[in-house]
Amino acid sequence: MPDSLAELRRDLAAAYRIVANEGILDAFGHISVRNPNNPQRYFLSRSRAPALVQAADILEYDLDSNPIVPPVTRPYSERVIHGEIFKARPDVNAVCHHHAPSIMPFAISGVPLLPVFHLGAAMGRSAPFWDSRDEFGDTNLLVVKPEEGASLARALGNHSVVLMRRHGATVVGGSVRELVFRTIYSAKNAEHQLAAHMLGHVSPLTDGEADMAGQLNLAPGPLARAYEYWVRRLAEREGRGKSDPMLRAAEAAARLPAPAKPASAMAKRGVKKKSGGRK
Ligand SMILES: [Zn+2]
């Protein structure tokens, strides 16, 4: 968890640009994070293309999606997606709404998106499908009214990803990093599911596999390793040097030592500490 709100805004802005750099967000889509000091508020960029978002663009809202400070710039019209999900899911601290090319065939056809490979398990066992016509009939498909956001949050339920008919998807996470990982790998999962479908019948991971692989993917080690990779790719794209503070922090986090084996387990097996140097 970042130790200041300034750091949180920088991290959130970087998450926008990372997810854009990985081809998930384009001119549209957005990412939010809950205020760790006040769970009744959240942060979201002003209305801007994700690849361009900087810390100074981040605005703060209450859970009814009213701005805390009247903005001088335009807010996203779909911000209720974030406010209503934060209201319904106290365990969620970050939300991404997107229209990734790989997700769209599923949002258009209604074919279920299912975890089909180990990293795709980050999406969970399944993703519900929200059809705005069920409660609202014909609309312009944007989620702009609080009741529309609340309906989407109900469809999401306790899942991590919800597909939105003819529109896109919304993904949630316990932190910005977890959210970024889940957003990127659920989109890759969609890509692989569609490609595998062309070869024949595709079955999903078992529930047990989805649970175990999903948990492993989001452990600190894999998360830090993936994040260093995404931050490096972004730094290269943006022409920032190796001394860039964000890149150095991501490298340091990914260099953490392997967890030590519990002493009791070593003692049980009679493992002795080596005194000599390397052979
Ligand atoms: Zn949208």
The confidence score (pLDDT) of residue 2 equals 55
Give the pLDDT of residue 272. Answer: 47
CA of 29 to the centre of ligand 1 (A): 6
Look-up of token digits 């002493």? 263
List the catalytic residue out of 60, 78, 84, 236: 78
Q: Reduced to 3 states, what is the DSSP secondary structure of residue 82?
A: helix
What is the separation, in whole angstroms, between the first and last Cα of the chain? 41
Of residues 131, 150, 35, the one with CA closest to residue 84? 150
**Burial class for 23, CB neighbours closer than 10 Å (0-12, 13-18, 19+):** middle
| 78 catalytic residue (yes or no) | yes
Residue 256, pLDDT score: 77
38, two tokens: 């006040």
Q: Identify the pLDDT of residue 139.
A: 95
pLDDT tens per residue, the chain (279 residues)? 556 999 999 999 999 999 999 999 999 999 999 999 999 999 999 999 999 999 999 999 999 999 999 888 999 999 999 999 999 999 999 999 999 999 999 999 999 999 999 999 999 999 999 999 999 999 999 999 999 999 999 999 999 999 999 999 999 999 999 999 999 999 999 999 999 999 999 999 999 999 999 999 999 999 999 999 999 999 999 998 888 899 999 999 999 777 666 655 545 554 444 444 443
| Count of residues making up the chain | 279
Coil, helix or strand at residue 155: helix
- Report CA(80)–ligand 1 centroid distance (Å): 11
Sign of CA dihedral 21, 10, 223, 165: negative
Could you give the CA distance from residue 167 to residue 187 in angstroms, rounded to a whole number? Answer: 14
Rg (CA), the chain: 20
Give the Cα separation of 29 and 100 in Å (integer): 9
Phi, psi (degrees; rounded to nearest 5) at 172: -125, 160
pTM equals 0.90
pLDDT at 277: 40
Residues 216, 222: Cα–Cα separation, whole Å: 8
Ligand 1 centroid, distance to 68 Cα (angstroms): 23
Q: How far does the centroid of ligand 1 lie from the alpha carbon of residue 97, in Å?
A: 6
Q: Would you state the pLDDT for residue 271?
A: 46
Cα 138 to averaged position of ligand 1 atoms, centre (Å): 16
